[in-house]
Structure 1
Amino acid sequence: MDKQPKFKRRAEARPDEVLDAALEMFLEKGFAAAKVEDVARRAGVSKGLVYLYFPSKDALLEAIVRRAISPVADSALAQLAVVEGDPRVALRRVIGALMVQLSDPQRMAIPKLILREAWQFPKVAEMYRREVLDRAIPAVTALLQRGMDQGYLRQLDAELTVRSLVGPIAVHLMLAEVFDIAPGDGLALERFMDNHLAILFDGLSAHPMEHGQ
C-alpha cells in the first residue's frame, strides 16, 4: 500500500500535468499565440504555480522536449557507443526503436511541434538542436566511420551519410505534418522504416571486391 500522502503525490505529478497542458496548447494555438494563463487553465492550476515550476514559456517548451526525447536519445546513444561489428545491425535496432516511439501520439507530438514552429522561431530550433541533434549526429557519424574503416560499409563521407540516413525520416514526417501528404494508411512507420533501410543499406553495403572478400 502506498503510504505517501495524497497531497504530496499530487504535488509531484503537477509538473507533468503542466507540461501535458502546455504541449496541448502549443499544438492547438501555436507556440507564439499560446499564453501561460492558457496552459494554467488547461492544467487546472494557477498561473503562479506554472511559473513556480517553469520560469518562462521557453522553459516549458524545453522541458517538454527534454521529457519526451532525452530518455530516448540517452538509450540510443548508449547503444551506439558500445557497438561492435556490423553497424547496420545497430542502426536497424535504433531506428526501429525510434519508429516505435513515434507511434506513441504523445511522443510524436514533439516532432510535430518542432516542424511547425522551428521556421518561425529560431529559439525552438536551437533548443532542439542542443538537446537532440548536437548529441546524436556526432555519435552516428562516428558509428558510420567505424563501419567504413572496418570494411562493413563503403568508403563515403560519414558526415554527409548521416544526412542521407535521417533526411528521409525528416521529410516523411514533414510531408505528413506540414503538407498533409501521407500514405493511405497514415504514417505507416514500420513500412517506411523497412523501405528506407532496404534502400539505404543496399547503397551502403561494401562490394566483396572493395574489402578483399
Structure 2
Amino acid sequence: MAKSNQTKSKEETGASRGRKGDRADEIVTAAFEEFTVKGYAGTRLEDVAARAKVSKGLPYLYFKTKEELFKAVVRSVLTPAFDEMRDLMLASDLPSEDFLKGPFLAFLQDLVKSRRMLIARLLISEGHKHPELTRFYYDHVVSKGIAALRAFIDRGVERGELKPTGLHDFPQLLVAPALMAVIWRSLFEAHAHLDTDEFLKTHINLVADAITTGNRGHETS
C-alpha cells in the first residue's frame, strides 16, 4: 500500500509540474499577444493574465517583473527559430552560394512575414527607452547571429567559394534588407506594396554574385 501511495504521489507531482509548465507557456503566449498589440509600455501583467484566462496574480508567480516576462517571450518566440538557422548555417555541407540562395533566403523570406518580427518592431519603436531589453535582445539574438554569419563567411573564404571582402567586418549587410522589409511592412505597405520575397531574393542574388568565386571544389564530383 505504501508503495502504491508513493507511486501515486510521484504521478501527482509530475502532473502538477506539467500543469505548471503549461500555465507558464500560456502566460508567455498571452504576453506575446499583448506586447505586439499594446507595445511594451502599454502592456500590463493583469491584462496578460486576463488574456491567458488565469488569476490576476498568477503571472507574478512565474515572472517577477514585466521585463522578465518580455525576456521569456524572446526566448520562446524568437530564439528557437534563430538557433535552428544558426546551427544549420554552421553545419551545412552545401556550397556557400547554394546555402545563401536556398535555406538562408527562405529563412529571411519567412522571417519578415512572421509574427515573430513584431517583437523586433516593438524594439525599434520603444527600445531606446528600455536599454535593458535591447541589451538582452542583442546578447541572445543579434550577437549570436552576427557570429554565425561571420563564421559562415570565413568558412566560405577558406573553401575558396567566397572572395575575401568587407563582409567579414560587416556581416549585418546580409540581413539588413530583412529589417528594411519589416519597417516597410509596418509603415508603408498601405501606401505602396513591397514584394518582400522578390526584394530579398534580389538582394541575396546580388550579394552572392558579388562575393562568390564560382569555385565549388569542396564538393565531390
TM score, norm. by length of structure 1: 0.80
Amino acid at match of 1:91: L
Q: Cα RMSD over matched residues? A: 2.7
Q: Against the structure 1 CA distance between its residues 183 and 166, is the aligned structure 2 distance closer, same or farther, given a 3 Å change threshold?
A: farther
Q: Choose from 24, 30, 44 the match for 1:15.
A: 24
Q: Choose from 137, 155, 158 the match for 1:146.
A: 155
Q: Is the 8 A contact 1:18 1:43 kept in 2?
A: yes
Distance 1:100 1:175 in 2: 15
Q: Deviations over 1:89-137 (max 9, x none)?
A: 22331331343244343x2332232322223321221111111112111
**Helix, strand or coil for the counterpart of 1:46?**
coil
Identical residues among aligned pairs (%): 28
Distance 2:193 2:119 in 1: 18
Q: Is the 8 A contact 1:117 1:124 kept in 2?
A: no
Aligned twin of 1:97? 107
Distance 1:191 1:200 in 2: 14
Structure with bigger RCO (C-alpha 8 Å, 6+ apart):
2
- Does residue 1:188 correspond to 2:195, yes or no? yes
- Does residue 1:201 correspond to 2:211, yes or no? no
**Helix, strand or coil for the counterpart of 2:154?**
helix
Alpha-carbon shift at residue 11 of structure 1 (Å): 4.2
Q: Deviations over 1:129-177 (max 9, x none)?
A: 1111121111110110121232212221243341211111112212322
Moved more, 91-100 or 148-157: 91-100
Distance 1:200 1:11 in 2: 48
Name whichever structure is richer in helix by fraction: 2
Moved more, 129-138 or 153-162: 153-162
Distance 1:147 1:184 in 2: 40
Distance 2:145 2:198 in 1: 24
- Does residue 1:110 correspond to 2:119, yes or no? yes
**Helix, strand or coil for the counterpart of 1:31?**
helix
Amino acid at match of 1:203: A
Q: Against the structure 1 CA distance between its residues 18 and 89, is the aligned structure 2 distance closer, same or farther, given a 3 Å change threshold?
A: same
- Does residue 1:126 correspond to 2:100, yes or no? no
Distance 1:91 1:134 in 2: 20
Q: Against the structure 1 CA distance between its residues 201 and 183, is the aligned structure 2 distance closer, same or farther, given a 3 Å change threshold?
A: farther
Higher Cα Rg: structure 1 or 2?
2
Distance 2:44 2:188 in 1: 30
Q: Is the 8 A contact 1:18 1:50 kept in 2?
A: yes
Q: Deviations over 1:39-91 (max 9, x none)?
A: 22222222321011112101111111111122112211221222346222223
What residue ranges of structure 1 are gaps of 5+ in the alignment? 209-213
What residue ranges of structure 2 are gaps of 5+ in the alignment? 1-10, 216-221
Alpha-carbon shift at residue 33 of structure 1 (Å): 2.6
Q: Choose from 32, 43, 53 the match for 1:44.
A: 53
